[in-house]
Amino acid sequence: MDKVTIRRFTADDRDWLVTQHGTLYAQAEGFDASFGVLVSEILDDFIAQHDPKVERGWIAEEAGQRLGSIFCVRLSDTTAKLRLFLLVPEARGKRLGKRLLATCMSFAEGRGYQGMQLWTHESHTAACALYRATGWDRVSSNPVHSFGQDLVEESWTYRF
């Protein structure tokens, strides 16, 4: 992981991200195709409408191979939203998630946001442990049926 770079997301990364999210979440958690549709909509909106001054996406890669992603989008004038945080299985456990999260949070703070929010599922134990270790607070936890599965949605916040 020494040669991993974190670069800005481009529209050329879109299809890879949609495929990775759809495939990995189907394999790991049994998500149905509606999850890939959601990721596709999020990315299409980002590509068409994001404000590069206050919103950004990043791709981690090594030797031309994409390994993960993270996005910072504007929720309000004071709050950013973390989105599409993903690591492929072979990149996990190597502190790359911590690097991506730090990149995203540093960007948000540098753009004057006072805090951040994110939405995830309780089953994402490694990500939730990382959020907790970096000072995020879980503010809600609700059982839902989404993407063809019974899940527990969680909302988290962070204050700069």
What ranges do the domains of the chain cover?
A: 5-159
Task: Examine the pLDDT at 1 and tell me if it is beyond 60.
Answer: no
The pLDDT value recorded for residue 25 is 86
Q: What pLDDT does residue 2 have?
A: 66
Residue 154 predicted with pLDDT over 90: yes
Mind listing the pLDDT tens digit for each residue in 51-107? 999 999 999 999 999 999 999 999 999 999 999 999 999 998 889 999 999 999 999
Class of domain 5-159: alpha beta
CB burial of residue 35 (10 Å; 0-12, 13-18, 19+): buried
**What kind and span of H or E run contains 46?**
helix 34-49
Q: What is the DSSP letter of 77?
A: S
Task: Tell me the pLDDT tens digit for each residue of 29-45.
Answer: 888 898 899 999 999 99
Are 62 and 5 contacting, i.e. CB atoms less than 8 angstroms apart? yes
Q: Report pLDDT for 87.
A: 95
- State which H helix or E strand residue 15 sits in: helix 14-29
Lowest mean pLDDT among 15-19, 77-81, 144-148: 144-148
Under a CB-based contact definition with an 8 Å cutoff, are residues 74 and 55 in contact?
yes
Assign residue 154 a region: left if phi > 0, alpha if psi is -120 to 50, beta otherwise? beta
- To the nearest whole number, what is the mean pLDDT of the chain? 94
